[in-house]
Amino acid sequence: MNLDKPKTRIVEIEPVTRVEGHGKVTIHLDDDNNVAEARLHIVEFRGFERFIRGRLLWEAPVIVQRLCGICPVSHHIAAAKAMDVIVGADALPPTAEKMRRLMHYGQVMQSNVLHFFHLSSPDLLFGFDAPRGKRNIFNVIKEFPDLAKQGVLMRKYGQEVILHTAGKKIHGTGAIPGGINKNLSLQERDLLLQDIEQMKVWAKGAVDVAKRYTLEHLSQVEQFANFNSSHLSLVREDGALDLYHGGLRATDAAGNIIFDHVDYQDFNDYIMEEVRPWSYMKFPFIKSRGALDGWYRVGPLSRLNNVAFIDTPLANAEHKEFRALTHNKPNHMSLAYHWARMIEVLHCVEKIHELLLDPDLQGADLRVSGERREEGVGVIEAPRGSLFHHYKVDKNDQITYCNLIVSTTHNNNGMNRAVTDVAKKYLGGKKRITEGMLNHVEVAVRAYDPCLSCATHALGQMPLTVELFDADGALIHSNSQHMGQDIPPD
């Protein structure tokens, strides 16, 4: 089908809600109303990679986190890691690395919890077809007050960890090129230790909720945006899950290694980005496999597929169970992202506990430097997946080049497949498109926890629109969720 032909019908969802940022989907129908293809468009653009040029290297970790208010710590640390390379800090003092790790585990915990409880749980608790007015966190608070409160307080705990490591819950300033600007006082440590056991219990409970959902709805989960793909993530030298550091590993749909333990300073030899005219978000692919077949997914699902084990006991036991569902072959189900995400929350809580008991956090050796370089790459496993920051800096410390590949961009192809799959199954061939059917498309996008704020380093937000085209270009059904409507009087 030639998608350039202006012969299609359109239905729009705009903006997609309960995701971070906005996007737009167009769904192309043939004569029989069957879905030929669906596209997720990113409709805004920020130009960050250009206007960062000329700024001083130490500013980068502070400025770049303003790309995103949901996982600012990830950008903060990825930029700092790139600048570590440039200032020649090849090994950070233990206090610095552990403080950054603590900050990052707090970050992944709060972001994953936020996504599960505040954004996605309404779909899982009330059903994809539940009335629009019901599907939100406020209604979860009303109908499942205990569960909702746990979500609120777990996110709060993650934010408190960030507060005490970065000085501020959102857009703090902990990491600096070559180290960190503070250690953790004993008072701060004791404060955070107070609630850690409770967090562990709740995190385990959250894994159970996600696991139970997956297993009880397995026939749906197995049919809903379940498709083969490669998976990319960092892994530790011994193959363990490591959200802060490691080598790049890519596996194919069957779980075979494509490349392994790649030093991410060389990522350009392995990964390339494709530009398509209909989205500001680029399409990364594995070079050796080409633009067509080289696409892959990242994030909790990919990480749990890629790693051999988790180095904390509770999360490791859950990981084993997660892997057993697909007989240790890669799990490709988009909805299984939720389960994987909660296992990572449990891992983060265990890691935070481990770190809080480590006296290195009270150390005074906060920063190092060494042989100056002109180029550096920082990679971290952000809540949504691998996050790449690449900079070049001149002798005056001014940035001359910047390229960012954010987690959601890596998942661009995966999300496009997901909306196509779900549109085909739930909208294709239908004469009338209901709001509940459209929510299925949003549920598929949500599974990836996309951060569309990050995705294009956008100027703003990206409305998600679903457009349903037929071969004649007529509107199949004007159930647009953004089109003008009368506002009832008070």
Partner 1 sequence: MKRKKRIATVSLAGCFGCHMSLLDMDEHILELMELAEFDRSPLTDFKTFSRRCDIGVIEGGCCNEENVHTLQEFRKHCDVLVAVGQCAIMGGLPVMRNAIMHSKDPLRECLEEAYSSSAKVYNPSNQIPNDAALPLLLDKVYTCAEVVKIDYQIPGCPPSGEVLWATLAALIKGEPAPQEYHMIKYD
* Alpha helical stretches, state H, 40-71: 48-51, 60-64
Q: Does 427 carry a binding-site annotation?
A: no
340-372: b or e for each residue (b if 16 or more CB lie within 10 Å)?
Answer: bbbbbbbbbbbbbbebbebebbebeebbbeeee
- Nearest distance, CB of residue 238 and partner 1, angstroms: 31
The CB-of-352 to partner 1 minimum distance in angstroms stands at 18
Identify which of residues 384 and 457 has a Cβ nearer to partner 1 in the complex. 457
| 457 annotated to a ligand binding site | yes
Q: 162 or 315, CB closer to partner 1?
A: 162
- Nearest to partner 1 of 2, 485 (CB atom): 485
Q: Report whether 459 belongs to an annotated binding site.
A: no
Residue closer to partner 1 (CB basis): 13 or 87? 13
Largest CA distance in the chain: 70
CA distances 400 to 53, 388, 392, Å, are 5, 17, 6
- Cα 44 to Cα 252: distance, rounded to the nearest angstrom: 32
Distance between CA atoms of residues 166 and 143, nearest Å: 35
On whether 49 is known to bind a ligand per the annotation, the reply is: yes
* Cβ 407 vs Cβ 385: under 8 Å: yes
Question: What would the two tokens of residue 296 be?
Answer: 């892959």
Q: 436-458 burial string, b = 16+ CB within 10 Å, else e? A: ebbbbbbbbbbbbbbbbbbbbbb
Closest to 397 in 3D by CA, of 368, 372, 370, 366: 372
The annotation status of 347 as a binding-site residue, yes or no, is no
We find the least distance from the C-beta atom of residue 390 to partner 1, in angstroms, to be 9
CB atoms within 10 A of CB 186: 10
237: which residues sit within 8 A by CB, 6+ positions away? Answer: 246, 247, 261
Q: Among residues 43 and 225, whose Cβ is nearest to partner 1?
A: 43
Tell the smallest beta-carbon distance from residue 411 to partner 1 (Å): 17
Q: Is 153 a known ligand-binding residue?
A: no
Q: How far is the C-alpha of 235 from the C-alpha of 412, rounded, in Å? A: 22
- Least distance from partner 1 to the Cβ atom of residue 16, Å: 8
Q: Write down the least CB distance from residue 215 to partner 1, Å.
A: 27
- Residue 319 Cβ, how far from partner 1 at the closest point, in Å? 28
Whichever of 160 and 252 has its CB closer to partner 1, that residue is 160
Residue 143 annotated in ligand binding: no
Residues in Cβ contact with 54 at an 8 Å cutoff, skipping those fewer than 6 apart: 398, 399
In the complex, minimum distance from the CB of residue 272 to partner 1, in angstroms, rounded to a whole number: 5
- Write down the least CB distance from residue 50 to partner 1, Å: 4
Q: Which is nearer to partner 1, 55 or 261 (CB)?
A: 55
Structure-derived torsion over alpha carbons of residues 307, 310, 315, 319, reported in degrees to the nearest 10: 30
DSSP state of 266: G
Give the residue with the Cβ less far from partner 1, 135 or 319: 135
* Nearer residue to partner 1 within complex by CB, 217 or 482: 482
Cα distance between residue 163 and residue 472, in whole Å: 56
3-state secondary structure of 271: strand
Which residues participate in the annotated binding site for Mg(2+)? 49, 404, 457
Pick out the residues of the known binding site for Ni(2+): 68, 71, 451
Please enumerate, by residue number, every residue annotated as part of a binding site: 49, 68, 71, 404, 451, 454, 457
